[in-house]
Amino acid sequence: MIGALLLIAYAVAAAGAAPLLRKGTWAERSPKVGIIVWQSLSVTVIASVVLAGVMLAVPAMPFTMTLADFLRACVTVLQEQYSTPGGAVVTTAGAFTAAAVMARTGYCLFSEFISARKAHRSQSRSLALLGRRDPSGRFLIVEHQTAAAYCLPGRNNEIVLTSAALGALDEDQRTAVIAHEKAHLRARHHIIVAVAEAIHRAFPRVPAFSIAHSEIARLIEMDADDRAARSNARLTVATAMVRLAEAGPAPSAALGAGGTSALARVRRLATPSAPLGTLHAFLAVSAATVMLVLPLAVAVAPAASTAYAQTCPTGFPAST
């Protein structure tokens, strides 16, 4: 019971820390580290609630129905370790909570990926009809009066520029935009965004998931900017973002170089801050690792202590 309460308290504390974690420029300085931390925060909150429910449900689980007789003593100790004073009501509530959270999360993840797949197929059909291949073979061109560029993840990993974008960008800027879109594809940012979107959809009233979703969407663009800036001048990347800033959101299932966050990213590219130092980056990644491991450690602690109980056998009896 104590372990379950600790997990619930930890989940509430972790979710409540999201607004504080959002402050400062640490994530902008190292977007890749920021993405890891925000992903870990979302996962640890969900895992803590699920594992708390499982811990409450353990006493009611019918272990002895499927275990051999010589393990009955071990099962008894295990159930005592996870025992709750509330009896059947608490164990039932724990089982229901764990099952509901897992089912809701799984459903939204499945739904998100199915929707993305359908949107990708629709976009691919439209591009097959309306797009034409650039002579260089690097991207597709779509006739449109708005300057925009985006990538469409999938089997072909297409990069798309509108005809207006071709007119707005010079050759160097066009190369920088293509590098930005290739960065999205290579880092599989669409999967990261889909998971964050699914968790947000699953629990829309939890502010932490909403914040994590918006932060991840912002940071993947900054990460793609940084990757593009490795092979292109930062000011060239920034200028290209300015030219594409009027573009709206990318089509469904696509990731765009312009959009509403472009101007903030331009300022970041034009006046770059030093990335997080090795020590600070290590501490951030270590904290993310602890967030992922801690709920599991708390949940299995009673079972681990059971393994050392004298009534729990350490091995199978020798056959005669």
Sketch the domain layout of the chain as residue ranges: 2-307
Query: What is the token pair recorded at 34?
Result: 């920021």
CA angle 62, 65, 70 (to 5 degrees): 110
Interval 277-294: pLDDT, tens: 899 999 999 999 999 999
Interval 39-68: pLDDT, tens: 999 999 999 999 988 887 766 555 444 444
Give the pLDDT of residue 63.
47
Query: What is the token pair recorded at 145?
Result: 């009066």
Nearest to 295 by CA among 109, 54, 86: 54
Q: What's the pTM value of the predicted model, to 2 decimals?
A: 0.82
Interval 245-266: pLDDT, tens: 765 566 655 666 655 567 788 8
φ/ψ region of 144 (left if φ > 0, alpha if ψ in -120 to 50, else beta) reads beta
CA distances, 146 to each of 192, 245, 261 (Å) = 27, 10, 17
Which residues of the chain are under the pLDDT cut of 50?
A: 63-71, 73, 77-78, 81, 316, 319-320
